[in-house]
Chains A and B, each alone.
Chain A
């Protein structure tokens, strides 16, 4: 397994990676999710051995990787721009790594055929790589990385240049290949859909540090920080002040916190209000409810309604948005009841 501890790297005198530590277990797919410029690709290149860190340790099964040059690490790398060798055809591209291992030509032929089969490109051996479509080129790049049976596979935004439909198909294929081959993988992306559908574990990279580490479900459920909640577009994020009765006074109304929280009365609290689950009430019902309990009910004017397949994204004039089953009229005033489960505290 790969262990990375306390990695530091700066770029043009600006710190880029500030103490990165994580590990990749056997057969595990880890997705590094972060905004562009967060240092994800640099981290990947350091693991590949193409760049050297300023401080920190990289180990594979306990062996220090610092003295091992890139070409001896046995880590496969797949780029966003495919980086297929334009002077070689499909077969020669896939065979490149095998030739570097000086394997007999019979073995090479067999393994190229297998690798191309894995990525559904059987029969493409003689094709010119420049004649292939983007999706086919990325499959060849994947086959090329798979063929030498790397100890670890690394992906640098491999699907970024492809259109949405193709991307979803390739994600499915990639997940199947990674699961059947049991090759551990680090997958770098800024697209949370890609990360969530591929990863066994998601790492959120922000300002040179890993701010969240967990399964996709854990990370989605508990983004942890306001930055993460915002980056993952989990919902509305705002601040309020905690009252002694456990209700937070926010600019948009009073909201009751879920039972467990570490805050004291008078604290400023960051809140995440999930857009799903809110119930629309008629004006009378809302008044009746408000008489009972003034918390968790909101009033707002509809600014915008956007159709989202199975629901509507409704944005209010105060900036909050909700997913509702029925589309209200733009300009109408609506009353909403917020379920306690839609409210979360953030660090």
Chain B
């Protein structure tokens, strides 16, 4: 039983900060007394919210497929200049914090975005001509922006590894292009398309920041409604009930997804992805490839570039619509972050939020590594308990962030764990979210060291300490760094859980950005842009580091 010792710390942590709050929500949401108190209107709200959540997720998934499938085809079949670069571009949004994405779209198409302000100035308009933020379209577009990379990766991979002889055989048997696609290519891709759709659907279903920040007050998914009921109306029983529904849905989707993923492994042969590649030659191919490249560039580059550009340009008056309009490049928005103004949102220099975020992130890194290391090294050694404990450790992945936050505020609001009043809840929540990623980064590296290597080193005269130094550490160090950066980036960008548990006097970067975005005035908006740009850059560096450190062949999703 000595083997089970490393489990104790992570399991205790999960028990206290995941299962206990979840049980609490369950109790609140299902308590007969609480249910009786809910007005009939509440049930119709639940029904409407659930319906809208499904509807927007389904529609977003369809649109994501509409862009992702041709893009997957483009990347899997054609070889062209800048392909790696374009592919990386489509992958960036998936790893960016939601507030950055929301700020990016706002900078591009929002009422204070450069496009609207430019058009207003050009045509002397009084109101922004493009209404984007606060529309259903904004939600859909942001979801497409976020999740297209999933389709590109999953379906593109399957397509690239498809045996080209299958299509050639079909052709030699009399199938024209359309029938090759219908009868051979698409049926073979079906499992990967299904897996990608489900994954995209799950992400859209649990989407929070995008709906809240880009959809505006008119749109409410389960996730947003939990937040509203808990934070704005203090209706905890209703929030609990919504959380429960949310949990059941994500659980059901996860089960279906894992079934589908098991199904994907049989159809394709492992073969070099390059054998399917060829240059764009025929006129039809040129039109397709050109149109796709332009579409992908517009969709993915513009929102990302708009944000830093907008944070460095004056396009309107700083305070109030009637002030003197200033144009041109500026660093004012960044300088303003260091100034404490009476009329500012926080009564402290906004730059404090950067410090808070870094502090939370450091605590998250430390805590998740401390818990992740024993868990990952135990998982790396084959044992009987793995099959049971591995899914338990991954469970927080399935629970939505807002539900985790809600669990925290209903569970830790009285002694002995009166943590709600302390800033400690934020890194605890972040650790819970980061832990599965940390374990998944460490485990393959730890498992990749065969005992034979250690035995070989020992037989060559290395002492146990030297074995660890020369064999284990060089392999583990990369994974540890990668896990640390993962935890760091997740903590920096986390919005859903944080928005429930954060103390107003210690805001994180995403919280501060969201508040600035909701405030009137050009200077507030500019500061949101500046902070979102900083967050984007830091996360971008983190993503690049993780990509560099990725073990070859380590899986995706």
- Residues of A whose CB lies within 8 Å of any CB of B are 45, 48-50, 69-77, 79, 81, 83, 85-87, 96-97, 100-101, 130, 141, 144-145, 148, 154
CA distance A195 to B102 in the complex (A): 66
Convert B164-186 into 0s and 1s, putting 1 for each residue whose CB lies closer than 8 angstroms to a CB of A. 01101111111110010001100
Are B174 and A48 in contact, CB atoms less than 8 angstroms apart?
A: no
Interfacial chain B residues near A74, Cβ < 8 Å: 174
Shortest 8 CB-CB contacts between residues of A and residues of B? A97-B173, A100-B174, A83-B165, A77-B172, A70-B171, A83-B169, A79-B165, A87-B187
CA distance A257 to B325 in the complex (A): 103
Are B168 and A48 in contact, CB atoms less than 8 angstroms apart?
A: yes
Are B169 and A86 in contact, CB atoms less than 8 angstroms apart?
A: no
A154 nearest in chain B by CB position: B172
Are B172 and A86 in contact, CB atoms less than 8 angstroms apart?
A: no
CA distance A149 to B317 in the complex (A): 78
Are B170 and A86 in contact, CB atoms less than 8 angstroms apart?
A: no
A141 nearest in chain B by CB position: B169
Most buried by B among A69, A70, A145, A154: A70
CA distance A46 to B120 in the complex (A): 59
Are A81 and B174 in contact, CB atoms less than 8 angstroms apart?
A: no
Q: Which of B407-447 contact A (CB under 8 A)?
A: none
Are B267 and A79 in contact, CB atoms less than 8 angstroms apart?
A: no
Convert B465-503 into 0s and 1s, putting 1 for each residue whose CB lies closer than 8 angstroms to a CB of A. 000000000000000000000000000000000000000
Are B172 and A87 in contact, CB atoms less than 8 angstroms apart?
A: no
B336 within 8 A of A: no
Are B165 and A71 in contact, CB atoms less than 8 angstroms apart?
A: no
Task: Given A70-B171, A86-B266, answer yes or no on A96-B166 (Cβ-Cβ < 8 Å).
Answer: no
CA distance A76 to B187 in the complex (A): 22
Minimum C-beta distance from A57 to chain B (A): 20
Q: Which of B180-221 contact A (CB under 8 A)?
A: 183-184, 187-188, 190
B332 within 8 A of A: no
B163 within 8 A of A: yes
Interfacial chain A residues near B165, Cβ < 8 Å: 79, 81, 83
CA distance A75 to B169 in the complex (A): 10
CA distance A75 to B188 in the complex (A): 24
Q: A-B pairs with CB below 8 Å: how many?
A: 74
Are A96 and B168 in contact, CB atoms less than 8 angstroms apart?
A: no
Task: Given A77-B168, A79-B165, answer yes or no on A86-B174 (Cβ-Cβ < 8 Å).
Answer: no
Minimum C-beta distance from B312 to chain A (A): 46
Most buried by A among B163, B172, B184: B172
- Residues of B whose CB lies within 8 Å of any CB of A are 163, 165-166, 168-176, 179, 183-184, 187-188, 190, 266-269
CA distance A31 to B269 in the complex (A): 29
Interfacial chain A residues near B172, Cβ < 8 Å: 48-50, 70-71, 73, 75-77, 145, 154
Interfacial chain B residues near A145, Cβ < 8 Å: 172-173
CA distance A71 to B174 in the complex (A): 4
Are B168 and A100 in contact, CB atoms less than 8 angstroms apart?
A: no
Task: Given A100-B173, A100-B175, A144-B173, answer yes or no on A83-B267 (Cβ-Cβ < 8 Å).
Answer: no
Are B175 and A83 in contact, CB atoms less than 8 angstroms apart?
A: no
A71-B175, A97-B174 given; name 15 further pairs at CB < 8 Å: A50-B168, A50-B171, A69-B171, A71-B172, A76-B172, A81-B163, A83-B168, A85-B170, A96-B175, A96-B183, A100-B175, A101-B174, A141-B169, A145-B173, A154-B172
Interfacial chain B residues near A81, Cβ < 8 Å: 163, 165, 269
A86 nearest in chain B by CB position: B267
Task: Given A81-B163, A85-B184, A86-B267, answer yes or no on A72-B174 (Cβ-Cβ < 8 Å).
Answer: yes
CA distance A45 to B164 in the complex (A): 12
26 A-B residue pairs with CB within 8 Å: A48-B171, A50-B168, A69-B171, A69-B176, A70-B172, A71-B173, A72-B174, A73-B172, A75-B172, A79-B168, A81-B165, A81-B269, A83-B165, A83-B169, A85-B166, A85-B170, A86-B266, A86-B268, A96-B173, A96-B183, A97-B173, A100-B174, A100-B175, A100-B179, A141-B169, A144-B169
B184 nearest in chain A by CB position: A85
Minimum C-beta distance from A77 to chain B (A): 4
CA distance A76 to B170 in the complex (A): 10
Interfacial chain A residues near B171, Cβ < 8 Å: 48-50, 69-71
Interfacial chain B residues near A48, Cβ < 8 Å: 168, 171-172
Task: Given A97-B174, A148-B174, answer yes or no on A87-B267 (Cβ-Cβ < 8 Å).
Answer: yes
Are B187 and A96 in contact, CB atoms less than 8 angstroms apart?
A: no
Interfacial chain B residues near A141, Cβ < 8 Å: 169
CA distance A74 to B183 in the complex (A): 18
CA distance A17 to B268 in the complex (A): 32
Task: Given A97-B173, A100-B174, answer yes or no on A130-B266 (Cβ-Cβ < 8 Å).
Answer: yes
Interfacial chain B residues near A86, Cβ < 8 Å: 188, 266-268
Most buried by A among B166, B171, B173, B188: B173
CA distance A76 to B165 in the complex (A): 13
Minimum C-beta distance from B270 to chain A (A): 12
Kindly identify which residue among A69, A72, A87, A100 contacts B188, using a CB–CB cutoff of 8 Å. A87
A73 nearest in chain B by CB position: B172
Interfacial chain B residues near A69, Cβ < 8 Å: 171, 176
Minimum C-beta distance from A36 to chain B (A): 15
Interfacial chain B residues near A148, Cβ < 8 Å: 173-174
Interfacial chain B residues near A73, Cβ < 8 Å: 172
A52 nearest in chain B by CB position: B281
A78 nearest in chain B by CB position: B169
CA distance A154 to B173 in the complex (A): 12
Kindly identify which residue among A96, A101, A130 contacts B170, using a CB–CB cutoff of 8 Å. A96
Interfacial chain A residues near B269, Cβ < 8 Å: 81
A96 nearest in chain B by CB position: B173
Minimum C-beta distance from A160 to chain B (A): 13
CA distance A145 to B266 in the complex (A): 24
Interfacial chain B residues near A45, Cβ < 8 Å: 168
